[in-house]
């Protein structure tokens, strides 16, 4: 995939107190990785028929404990009917996260900020823990998804428009992805600044 050189809204290098642009490598992923093709900056679901949940958890992975930007291109259409979920959770809830469960256990956590594919393709519903925040958010394949935390406010933007805001998110967070069907959950050009 084409490697971008800047984060939307931040530019290359240091800006707004954030560090220089950093890419995600295949070695940073943990969980049920056997169902995925993991390459630098890209992940692709290769096994269907069950959930294969993965998260960023490795000694070389970013620690997201302050302001950060996390962005990627959504290359899969998520498939609808709870096929895919994506988001962040407090690292103190690592033991609740699941490699095989629907919703990854995010709906059983106190501090999780995430979205799930809903009925039909290219449609999501956002959550905080088990509480639904916003439903029927549409997107297009190849849209840029950007998660940004400033202070204790976390926002999710799709194609440059903020679609969800969570407040009071002061935890150290970990990013995770779930997929059920081949290629539906795929994302590319994953990058972060913190």
Average pLDDT across each block of 10 residues of the chain; the chain has 194 residues. List them in order: 42 53 89 94 94 91 90 92 89 96 96 90 94 94 97 98 97 95 95 90
pLDDT at 44: 97
Cβ–Cβ under 8 Å, residues 76 and 185: yes
**Which tokens hold the place of 110?**
């106190």
pLDDT at 183: 95
For 155-192, b/e burial (b = at least 16 CB within 10 A) is: bbbbeeeebbebeebebebbbbbbbbbbebbbbbbbbb
Half-sphere exposure of 1 (CA within 13 A, CB side): 22
pLDDT at 133: 97
**DSSP code string of 133-161:** EEEEEE--TTEEEEEEEETTEEEEEETTE
pLDDT at 14: 39
- Domains for the chain: give ranges and CATH numbers: 28-187 (2.60.120.920)
pTM of the model: 0.89
């Amino acid at each position: 995939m084409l490697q971008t050189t800047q984060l939307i809204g931040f530019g290359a290098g240091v800006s707004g107190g954030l560090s220089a642009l950093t890419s995600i490598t295949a070695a940073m992923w943990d969980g049920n990785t056997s169902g995925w093709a993991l390459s630098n900056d890209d992940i692709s679901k290769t096994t269907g028929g069950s959930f294969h949940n993965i998260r960023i958890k490795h000694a070389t992975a970013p620690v997201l404990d302050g302001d950060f930007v996390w962005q990627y291109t959504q290359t899969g259409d998520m498939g609808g009917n709870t096929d895919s979920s994506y988001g962040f959770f407090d690292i103190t809830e690592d033991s609740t996260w699941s490699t095989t469960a629907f919703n990854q256990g995010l709906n059983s956590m106190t501090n999780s900020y995430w979205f799930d594919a809903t009925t039909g393709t290219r449609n999501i519903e956002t959550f905080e823990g088990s509480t639904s925040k916003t439903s029927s958010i549409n997107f297009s394949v190849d849209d840029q998804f950007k998660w940004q935390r400033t202070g204790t406010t976390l926002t999710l933007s799709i194609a440059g428009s903020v679609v969800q805001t969570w407040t009071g998110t002061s935890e150290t967070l970990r990013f995770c992805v779930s997929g059920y069907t081949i290629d539906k959950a795929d994302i590319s050009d994953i990058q972060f600044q913190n």
